[in-house]
A and B are shown apart, each in its own frame.
Chain A
Amino acid sequence: MSLQIDLTFDDTTYRHYTNGFLTVMHCHHYMTLATRLAEQFSDLGGERILAESAEDALRPLLDDYIQKHGISDPDERLKIGQEYYAAIGMGKMAASGDSHSGSVTLTHSHIDQGWVMKWGERPTPMNYWTQGYIAAMFGAAFDKPPRSFAVEERESLVSGAPHSTFLVTAK
């Protein structure tokens, strides 16, 4: 099945909803600056906080969609996760795996491309947000609680690689 996106606007509160969840539009400046802020406060766990915030905030959207549409097949659930990632403007993703491990590639990325547009390439990966999203996606696909998967970015569009690659491992 293909993801169905229902965008609504409450003309009393002037708030936007995506499939019933309050969403807000922001730009690559804000997202890449938030990413840099996380690194600036690395001693406080900034990168981990960014990834976990993404995992915790995005997981309910995925769980809700899966539940409402009665999707039980893990591969279908991963596909929904990929399509959601694209629908919210974060890039184009391909994922595969099982409850023990998996891999994800990005051929387009809001964060990596936004970073390059703003500051140019850098030698090290920095897509912590997507690490969190992937953890949420695998958790939703395999009915696992938050923090069940470790996600490591191995190569990155921001470093000039043709795609970003993430390795997923069950904790």
Chain B
Amino acid sequence: MTVQRDVVVKKLADIKAVGNEEGLIPAFNVLVNNLPAAFWNTFTVRMMEAAPAERKQEMEDALMHCANVCGYNTGYGIITSKEFQDVVTPMVTEGAKDVLRGAYAVFTAWGWAKSGIAQIKEGERMVVRAMDYYEADMKPGYMMGFMVRGVSAAFFDLAYGEPYPNGGNTFRCEQVKGMEVGDPFGEFVVTRTDSPS
């Protein structure tokens, strides 16, 4: 047996994210918020539009960095959480590869992207395919899966980089296809930062 994404998603999707008496949602060792996807997309597109041509790359990198740090910290909280241990760990039979599959199942269950690993060369390269992701809802004329990119690099780091919290920045992720630019799915390729791009 290996991690079956749809089984994990259905079990984890029942978790109700609603603020407690303090208006906060503490979970997975972080504070969670549950905001309209429109907010994140609007912010991303407006920031990109505000950047002049010579600063677009700087803005892209900064947007991706937000997701990378989020994915690294929250990803670690996820894979060490009781929920993950209860639901995913019993299906783990292929070590780090299966933990990654489980992380993408949670990624999917949280509503970030209906995604999974299409190809993997352990510790070296991973191709992630997303059949539906909220960042594709805006059509700005360029690929804008910055969140999926940042989190994918972070997840691969958690699986194959230095042990948390000493890893990070071991891997980078590029988007090569995007539903927001007319492709049938989004495709994201993770490679080592010290490999030729």
Interface residues, chain A, CB within 8 Å of chain B? 5, 7, 9, 11, 13-16, 18, 21-31, 33-34, 37-38, 40-41, 44-46, 49-50, 52-54, 56-58, 60-61, 85-93, 107-108, 110, 113-114, 117
Chain A residues in 8 Å Cβ range of B30: 27-29
Q: 1/0 per position for B1-37, CB-CB distance to A under 8 A?
A: 0000000011001101111011111001011111111
Q: Are B37 and A24 in contact (CB under 8 A)?
A: yes
A21 closest partner in B (C-beta): B36
Q: Are A25 and B32 in contact (CB under 8 A)?
A: yes
Contacts A49-B43, A50-B43, A89-B17; A22 near B23 (Cβ below 8 A): no
| Any A CB within 8 A of the CB of B176 | no
Cβ 8 A contact of B19, one of A9, A22, A87: A87
| Any A CB within 8 A of the CB of B65 | yes
- The stretch that binds A, out of B69-77, B119-127, B165-173, B182-190, is B69-77
Q: Are B70 and A30 in contact (CB under 8 A)?
A: yes
| Any A CB within 8 A of the CB of B50 | yes
Q: Are B23 and A89 in contact (CB under 8 A)?
A: yes
| Any A CB within 8 A of the CB of B164 | no
Q: With A27-B31, A89-B19, A91-B22 given, can you name 18 additional A-B contacts, CB distance below 8 Å? A: A14-B111, A21-B36, A22-B111, A23-B35, A25-B32, A27-B28, A27-B30, A30-B66, A30-B70, A46-B47, A57-B36, A58-B35, A87-B19, A88-B33, A91-B19, A92-B23, A108-B22, A110-B25
Q: Could you tell me the distance between the alpha carbons of A13 and B6 in the complex, rounded to whole angstroms?
A: 11
Interface residues, chain B, CB within 8 Å of chain A? 9-10, 13-14, 16-19, 21-25, 28, 30-40, 42-43, 46-47, 50-51, 55, 59, 62-63, 65-67, 69-70, 73-74, 77, 108-112, 114, 132, 134, 137
Q: Are A22 and B33 in contact (CB under 8 A)?
A: no
Chain A residues in 8 Å Cβ range of B114: 13-14
Contacts A14-B9, A27-B31, A49-B43; A41 near B62 (Cβ below 8 A): yes
What's the least CB distance linking A32 to chain B, in Å?
9
Contacts A108-B23, A113-B24; A57 near B39 (Cβ below 8 A): yes
Q: Could you tell me the distance between the alpha carbons of A21 and B37 in the complex, rounded to whole angstroms?
A: 9
Give the interface centre of A29, A57, A58 by most chain B CB atoms within 10 Å: A29
Q: Are A37 and B47 in contact (CB under 8 A)?
A: yes
Chain A residues in 8 Å Cβ range of B74: 27, 29-30
Query: Can you spell out 27 A-B residue pairs with CB atoms less than 8 angstroms apart?
Result: A7-B16, A14-B114, A14-B132, A15-B111, A18-B36, A24-B37, A25-B32, A25-B33, A25-B111, A27-B31, A30-B70, A30-B74, A33-B69, A37-B47, A37-B66, A41-B62, A44-B47, A58-B36, A85-B23, A87-B23, A89-B24, A91-B23, A92-B23, A108-B22, A108-B24, A110-B25, A110-B31
